[in-house]
Amino acid sequence: MIPVIKNPHRGRLLIKGGRVIDPRQNLDQVTNILIENGKVLSIGHHLDTPANTPTLDATNSVVAPGLVDVHVHLREPGGEAKETIATGTRAAAAGGVTSVVSMPNTNPPMDNVADIQFVISRAAQEGMVRVYPTGTISKGRLGQELSEIGAMASVGCVAITDDGSEVMNSQLFRRALEYTKTFNLIVMDHCEDVNLMGDGVMNDGALATRLGLAGIPRQAEYTMVARNIALAELTGGRLHLTHMSVKESVELIRQAKAKGLHVTADVTPHHLILTEEAVQEYKSNAKVNPPLRTMEDVTALRKGLKEGVLDCVASDHAPHTQSEKLQEFSNAPFGLIGLETMLPLIITELVKPGYLTLSEMILRMSDLPARLFNLPAGTLEPGSNADIVIFDPEAKQTFTHFVSRSQNSPFLGWQLNGVVERTLVGGQTVYERSAASAKPHPSPL
């Protein structure tokens, strides 16, 4: 179900002279894109356009399908002080993200049709980018009884997840994987043994000992990755493992894929870039779940992404207010914001050093996540939605403030390569760097 576009761009728009990268079309060349009524009409050097066609000059920029982020906390309802659908989708637009999959651990948790419809209607009223809601696996996110999954699917829920915590009851998780098959729904899982996690607040090990903080052992993640894969094997269900953080998980997923199981996975920019050292001095903006791990894990995650064992990059954008984060480390909530930094982080830390090409980056941040979640996005093929990001991969910027309502980022103050110049949804500009501080753009949805 495609979020309704109330106000797609009318008429034609030509994006001229940009380096167009679209892995699904195996395209990486300087060319032009013609948009008509919110859809891509054609791509080519010599497009038949009247001289008065509105034109965007994208010379020296990359033009790519808008990013697709399958793990975003928009916090509405219940957490409006942290983020709303309006502010979160503006942050997405600023980050070049045109489709977000929103998490259901709101307050109350999204475990029924009305909640899913609320997100869809709210996004239609106030959203700047396309929002695809997920529902919970279990009623109340309590891990005891299945939510009304089929009903939620019928109104536009794209996946189910109890994200934020694990479904510890293996029988329930098995049933979820079985039941969703009928509805072609993905079961997305957080992968963390809650008992093993205990009251842990960071990676277990010497640094946790030095800081006197309770650790979360890596086994808390990969025992659940192993269990979930086993249950995917049992059921033939469609399993997506989110925010993988340890090298052992990568190996388990590699084996699962080799067996032909329907298992996919994502990884966050922060787990690809930071290690546990980021929490030194009790920096709560680096307190995240799963916790930042070690250099060995970072290396394994990067390799896993390069090889496609990890299918895509997702931000796990998790806004929290400053006063919540400005607490004792063990009392501060887990999570960091990521929508606005994901593209420059991947460019700076993975593309520039040669781990990924720009085309592989678009594959992992747009094309594949769209395909995994069956979203009408991730390509600029003629006829597809004109959801587009235009960015300069060389330009530098230093993050000192975010569009998101929350500012909890460990990357504050980082100078990064890669500047989003313009984001379009349905052919309409939803973010423009030069106008970022000027008037807000009207919602296209």
Partner 1 sequence: MKKDTARLKDLLGLEYLSRAQIEELLDQAKPMKQLFTRSVKKAPALRGKTVALVFFEPSTRTRTSFELAAKRLSADTLNIAASTSSVQKGESLIDTAKTLDAMKVDYIVLRHSASGAPHLVAREVKARVINAGDGSHEHPTQGLLDAFTIIEKKGKIDGLKVAILGDVAHSRVARSNLWVLTKLGAHVTVCAPETLIPPGLKEIFGSHVTITSHVDEAVKDADVINVLRLQVERQKENLMPSIREYAELFGLNLSRLALAKRDCIVLHPGPMNRGVEITSEVADSHQSVVLDQVTNGIAIRMSVLYWLTGHPLLDGGATAEQTLTQSEKLS
Beta strands in 23-149 (DSSP E): 27-36, 39-44, 55-57, 62-65, 67-72, 97-102, 130-133
Contact 213, 202 (CB under 8 A): yes
Please state the φ and ψ torsions of residue 327, each to the nearest 5 degrees: -125, 175
Q: Is 319 left (phi over 0), alpha (psi -120 to 50) or beta?
A: beta
189, 316, 367, 392: the catalytic one is 316
Which residue number, 48 or 281, has a Cβ lying nearer to partner 1? 281
- Number of residues written out for the chain: 445
- Least distance in angstroms from the C-beta of 207 to partner 1: 7
Report the C-alpha gap between 417 and 134 in whole angstroms: 32
Between the CA of residue 369 and those of 5, 68, 71, 100, 187, what are the distances in Å?
A: 21, 6, 10, 10, 14
Contact 380, 65 (CB under 8 A): yes
Which residue number, 294 or 379, has a Cβ lying nearer to partner 1? 294
Report the C-alpha gap between 212 and 226 in whole angstroms: 30
Between the CA of residue 391 and those of 31, 249, 397, what are the distances in Å?
A: 15, 33, 12
Which residue number, 174 or 293, has a Cβ lying nearer to partner 1? 293
Residues 6+ apart with CB under 8 A from 141: 104, 105, 109, 111, 162, 164, 165
The identity of residue 167, as a single letter, is: V
Which residue number, 133 or 200, has a Cβ lying nearer to partner 1? 200
- Least distance in angstroms from the C-beta of 208 to partner 1: 7
- Least distance in angstroms from the C-beta of 173 to partner 1: 25
The identity of residue 33, as a single letter, is: I
Q: Which residues of 160-181 are buried (b: 16+ CB within 10 A; e: fewer)?
A: bbbbbbbbeeeebbbbbbebbe
Which residue number, 162 or 324, has a Cβ lying nearer to partner 1? 324
Question: Residue 316 catalytic?
Answer: yes
Which residue number, 327 or 415, has a Cβ lying nearer to partner 1? 327
- Least distance in angstroms from the C-beta of 47 to partner 1: 57
- Least distance in angstroms from the C-beta of 298 to partner 1: 18
Between the CA of residue 124 and those of 79, 91, 354, what are the distances in Å?
A: 19, 16, 39
**How does strand 12-22 pair with strand 55-57?**
parallel
- Least distance in angstroms from the C-beta of 413 to partner 1: 15
Report the C-alpha gap between 209 and 142 in whole angstroms: 32
Which residue number, 8 or 410, has a Cβ lying nearer to partner 1? 410
User: For 329, which DSSP code?
Assistant: T
Which residue number, 29 or 322, has a Cβ lying nearer to partner 1? 322
Q: Which residues bind partner 1 (CB under 8 A)?
A: 204-215, 281-282, 323, 326-331
Alpha-carbon 86 to chain mean position: 17
User: For 348, which DSSP code?
Assistant: I
- Least distance in angstroms from the C-beta of 323 to partner 1: 7
Report the C-alpha gap between 108 and 296 in whole angstroms: 38
- Least distance in angstroms from the C-beta of 248 to partner 1: 17
Q: Which residues are catalytic?
A: 316
